[in-house]
Amino acid sequence: MVVSCEEVWREISNYLEDDMDPGLRSAMEEHFRSCQHCTAVLEGTRNLIRLYGDDRMFELPSGFSRRMERWLTRNVVVSRGTWPGWLIAAVAAVLVASSLTLARSWTPNRPLKSEHAQSGHGIPPDMVVVVTEGTKLFHVPGCEVIHNKDKQRTLTAKEAMREGYVPCLRCMRKYLNVAGARRAEANAENDDATEGEIRAALR
């Protein structure tokens, strides 16, 4: 059996999967011995499968593991309802609250992205949010008013606020003062809510 280059390209994936009848496989092997182009395609394809199949290709966003562990601790371990679980949660909450208070009292403030930037009351500190370059707001992933989506970065709400970002008044609405949020919502898309509106919403 003789196979053409076109047939080889059509079957090359099955060849690598070893998913073909022995006759065709022998014919392809014979073809590779005499065709430099098809050998280049075969080896290049085999090479990329090996590289992409390497575990090192899976790169996690910065802080992913930490956020996942916290998420599971908060939602799975604590929600069990056992005495030790509640106790650990209560102690952890007190410790976190104390350390935050302590940190606020001596940590120098970073430059704010906006003069309107303040802590967002009611926003879970470990909540996963996104920010983008050149804007002042942080958003729930998938928020409709995210600008520069190709330059977005994932972090926690606490980290975003620490970096001076302000909550988006549209997607973070449920955590904010709703009346204030409604007034400022129209401006949220342009990232230019007034100081009074932002403060009212955060109050």
Partner 1 sequence: MTREQQLIASVQQGKRELFYELVRPYERRVYAAAFAILRNEADAEDVCQEAMLKVLKVAHIQQFRAEARFSTWLIQITVNEALMRRRRDRTVVMEGLAERPDEEGNYTPRDFADWREIPSEALERKEVRQRLAEALATLDRKYREVFVMRDMEHWNIQETAEALGISTASVKTRLLRARLMLRDLLAAGWERGWFSRLPFEKGSKPW
Which positions touch partner 1 (CB under 8 A)?
A: 6, 9-10, 12-14, 16-17, 19, 36-37, 39-41, 43-45, 47-61, 64-65, 67-69, 71-73, 75-77, 79-80, 128-130, 141-142, 144, 149, 152, 154
Give the nearer residue to partner 1 in terms of CB position, either 140 or 184.
140
- The least CB distance from residue 203 to partner 1, in Å, is 28
- The least CB distance from residue 193 to partner 1, in Å, is 22
Three-state SS letters, 4-16: CHHHHHHHHHHHH
Phi-psi region of 191 (alpha: psi -120 to 50; beta: other; left: phi over 0): left
- The least CB distance from residue 30 to partner 1, in Å, is 19
Give the nearer residue to partner 1 in terms of CB position, either 40 or 94.
40
Give the nearer residue to partner 1 in terms of CB position, either 141 or 196.
141
Give the nearer residue to partner 1 in terms of CB position, either 80 or 174.
80
How far is the first Cα of the chain from the last one, in angstroms, to the nearest whole number? 80
Give the nearer residue to partner 1 in terms of CB position, either 51 or 103.
51
**φ, ψ dihedrals at 12, nearest 5°:** -65, -35
User: Which run of H or E residues covers position 110?
Assistant: none
CA distances from 107 to 97, 113, 123, 141, 176 (A): 15, 17, 21, 29, 25
